Amino acid sequence: MNEIALSVRNLTIEFPSESGRIRAVDQVNLNLERGKIMGLIGESGCGKSTVAFALLNSVPSPGIIVEGTIEYTGYGNLLKMTPEEQRLFRWQHVSVVFQASQNTLNPLKRIEDQIRELAQAHRIRDVRVLLERARSLCESLRLDTRRVLNSYPHQLSGGMKQRVGIMLALLLQPEIVLFDEPTTALDSLSQESVLQIIREIHQKDGLTGIFITHDLGIVSEIADTVAVMYAGRIVEISPTARVFSGPLHPYSQALLDALPRLTGDPRAARGLPGSPPKVVGNVSACLFRDRCPRRMPVCDLAAPELKRVDESSMAACFLYSESEEANVHVKMH
């Protein structure tokens, strides 16, 4: 129990731009337990997808990982591996279900040929075994196996392509699967069936994964724990139930308040005015303070760090660290 499969320390990612190096991800720490799914939520642009790409060391150009370690238990720090080791590590040990799987398949090759390419790339000698596995995965994904393998991507519907994306992600039996908004591009019916499939696999095979989304509803259905990101930082990590009953960070609360309820007045949903800041350079104040209903004087003076609040939760907010608040006061005087 509680074995850590992946541990990220001080992950910091910057994107050079005309107005300086924008810090998309700042000092992110997280542990992923084996057999658990962690939801990673936040507004668009908060850096959640960048984190996912960083876990494979393929942050889209021009982003660079300026600091941090990405430690896979049993394999070591991904960032220290040679390019060839990294290439073989990707997909064999950690794979991705992409946001828009329909665009992640080479339009010129049949699905079966794309599987053959994967086998070749990962030095799998017996392609037949892999194709057999692809077939059984297709069946459990409720795909018409023969048709799908013989099809070109454009001959499949969006929902089918998304399921092909899941099939490809599970094909090499990786320890960890990253789901990067896998349902965002789908209609609500396909969305539900894809979620159900992921849930089934999670329950049956004890899938370990990170589920990235901006949709709290989906997180509540699928994740064991939730990490909330704001402006490139993790502001809270809590068990899913807690995030929905009484989240710690004011930002998590704001996300929850913005969710329309089926029970009660849907107009009671409250939006959060303003937008997250772009971060350049080091941060010397809480980034959420301008939108925060519980702002305190200390929030202008230092950036709160992610600290353990109790046994199950962590938060980056001065509401939970009076001692640090005191420290800042001492420094001031």
Partner 1 sequence: MRVVRRFGVSLLMIWMVMTITFFMIRLMPGNPIMDAYLSLLQQGVPSQEAMAQIHVLYDVYPNQSVLTQYVLYVWHLLHGNFGTSIVYAGRPVLPLILASAPWTLMLVSIGITISFFIGLFLGVLIALNRNTWFDNVMSQIASIFHGIPNYVTGFIFLYFFTVMLPWFPFGNIYGNTVTPGLNFPFIASVAYHSVLPIAAYVFGAFGTWTLSTKSAAVAVLGDDFIQADKIRGLTPGQQLDHLIHNSVLPLFTGFVLSLGMMFGGAVFIEETFTIPGLGYLIAQSTSQRDYPVMQGCFLLLSSAVILANFLADMLYSRIDPRIRV
Q: Which is nearer to partner 1, 166 or 298 (CB)?
A: 166
* Minimum separation from the CB atom of position 127 to partner 1 (A): 15
Comparing CB distances to partner 1, the nearer of 80 and 142 is 80
Return the sign of the alpha-carbon dihedral for residues 51, 53, 57, 63. Answer: negative
List CB contacts of 251: < 8 A, sequence separation 6 or more: 228, 230, 235, 236, 288, 291, 292
> Least Å distance between CB 28 and partner 1?
19
Minimum CB separation from partner 1 for residue 211, in Å?
17
CB-nearer residue toward partner 1: 137 or 292: 137
Q: Whole-number minimum distance, CB 165 to partner 1, in Å?
A: 9
Phi, psi (degrees; rounded to nearest 5) at 241: -60, -40
Residues that bind partner 1 (CB under 8 A): 53, 56, 58, 60, 87-92, 95-96, 98, 100, 103-108, 110, 117-118, 120-122, 152, 154, 168
Handedness of CA 187, 188, 191, 193 (dihedral sign): negative
The residue (of 138 and 237) whose beta carbon lies closer to partner 1 is 138
β-strand pairing of 76-77 with 64-72: antiparallel
The structure tokens listed for 179 are: 């789901």
User: What 3-state DSSP class applies to 90?
Assistant: helix
Q: How far is CA 300 from the centre of its chain?
A: 29
Closer residue to partner 1 in complex, CB, 110/307: 110
Closer CB to partner 1, 3 or 117, in the complex: 117
Give the other-Cβ count within 10 Å of 102's Cβ. 20
Q: How far is the CB of 105 from partner 1 (least distance, A)?
A: 6
Q: What does residue 107 show for φ and ψ, rounded to 5 degrees? A: -65, -15
Min dist. Cβ of residue 1 to partner 1 (A):
31
Considering the complex, state which of residue 154 and residue 294 has its C-beta at the smaller distance from partner 1: 154
Q: CA end-to-end span of the chain, whole Å?
A: 47
Q: Cα separation of 12 and 28, whole Å? A: 7
Q: Least distance from C-beta 153 to partner 1, angstroms?
A: 9
